[in-house]
Structure 1
């Protein structure tokens, strides 16, 4: 169904590119487009009252985002989105998507996207409220890792500051734990490439 949906989506929108760190849309901006991720990693986030960035969801290729507010009857985005890596998206005008609401492939994909985003949001709430910073970092690295020649590897070029924004902690703590794990042989870490060797082994 994914291939059918991707082919269907591409005919209604246009390809757009965002550089790493670039905002895709701002909170308070009018909802004009829905976005489908073809390549890259996107963060949905909000700013708490204390000024701390709160990550709502991490989105990957195959995810659709930017439509929830409009489906709730709102005309402006309530959160902002940022490209965490160089990102390739399909931008679909929201009105075009609404006109295709009878398309079974699109409807099924929207429902699956809603379920996935709600699950991600609940997981992030649990992570931020129940886990220590060290546990949060371990969880995030495992979530971002892919199997490369039998080794779980994070090859997304995220800075320590970007990781700290996602996990709601200081950049110094991220640096401290990564250096500690590298010294202990739990990870290999060079230029944004992190190999998870023994990240779950007891201290």
Structure 2
């Protein structure tokens, strides 16, 4: 998708805003490319901007002192990067790295806070409610990811992870290396290669160096762990709640 065909309402949060609130926010939104492996912000750094992806997908990573990392959540066009600011903290607890390149909208923290304050009013502001409801869904995703990493086999984890990437990118193709997948999942690259080869042999995916295609969704979903269903259902639920909130 070209930059010229992007629209703020491709992001689920921005799409659920009332016309008046989107009008307040729109002048502060800057459409930017989000490049593969680009780090948007580091953990504990001063957060200068928040991001609303439209075609890009990012990983939120917990990075340890020994240089290892593990993904605790992923964010695509259903959400926002930098939600800690909604809770009054402008220093994020995770690193955000782009794993599926595309485009998104950037807004400065100062401008976002100004819009949140201006649109507060007696209804507490649609944007404020949307961001708080999305944060709740993100917390559920994080807790489910922790349980998944601890209790489920890598094959199940990878199936769940791939499906989540396909869903958030609105595509059945994914440009990513085994090295980056290993970095994100906190496992050895060789382990990812072995599992990916098995999934390809069983007709679930097709892959070449740096590229993975979905071959059979039904099989891949059948091989994924329960975490995929739990997180997807919550993602669907929060969007329905958001639209109901706006209409009320």
User: Into which bin does the TM-score normalised by the smaller protein fall?
Assistant: 0.7 to 0.9
Residues 72 and 111 from structure 1, CA distance in 2 versus in 1: closer, same or farther, beyond 3 angstroms? closer
1:144 aligns with 2:165: yes
Residue number in structure 2 paired with 1:17: 33
Pairing 1:1-203 to 2, within 5 Å after superposition = 2-5=14-17, 8=22, 9-68=25-84, 70-102=85-117, 103=119, 104-146=125-167, 154-190=172-208, 191-196=211-216, 198-199=219-220, 200=222
Does structure 2 retain, via aligned residues, the 8 Å contact 1:19–1:87? yes
Rounded to whole Å, the distance in 1 between the matches of 2:135 and 2:63 is 22
Higher strand share: 1
User: Number of residues paired by the alignment?
Assistant: 195
Does structure 2 retain, via aligned residues, the 8 Å contact 1:133–1:167? no
Give the secondary-structure state (helix, strand or coil) at the position aligned to 2:51.
strand
TM-score scaled by structure 1?
0.82
Does structure 2 retain, via aligned residues, the 8 Å contact 1:12–1:96? yes
Does structure 2 retain, via aligned residues, the 8 Å contact 1:141–1:154? no
Rounded to whole Å, the distance in 2 between the matches of 1:6 and 1:22 is 32
Rounded to whole Å, the distance in 1 between the matches of 2:18 and 2:181 is 30
Residues 139 and 92 from structure 1, CA distance in 2 versus in 1: closer, same or farther, beyond 3 angstroms? same
Does structure 2 retain, via aligned residues, the 8 Å contact 1:2–1:62? no
RMSD across aligned C-alpha pairs, in angstroms?
2.6
Does structure 2 retain, via aligned residues, the 8 Å contact 1:38–1:90? yes
Give unmatched runs, 5+ long, in structure 2. 1-12, 120-124, 224-248
TM-score scaled by structure 2?
0.69
Structure 1 range deviating more: 70-79 or 48-57: 70-79
Does structure 1 retain, via aligned residues, the 8 Å contact 2:86–2:132? no
Structure 1 range deviating more: 182-191 or 131-140: 182-191
Residue number in structure 2 paired with 1:150: none
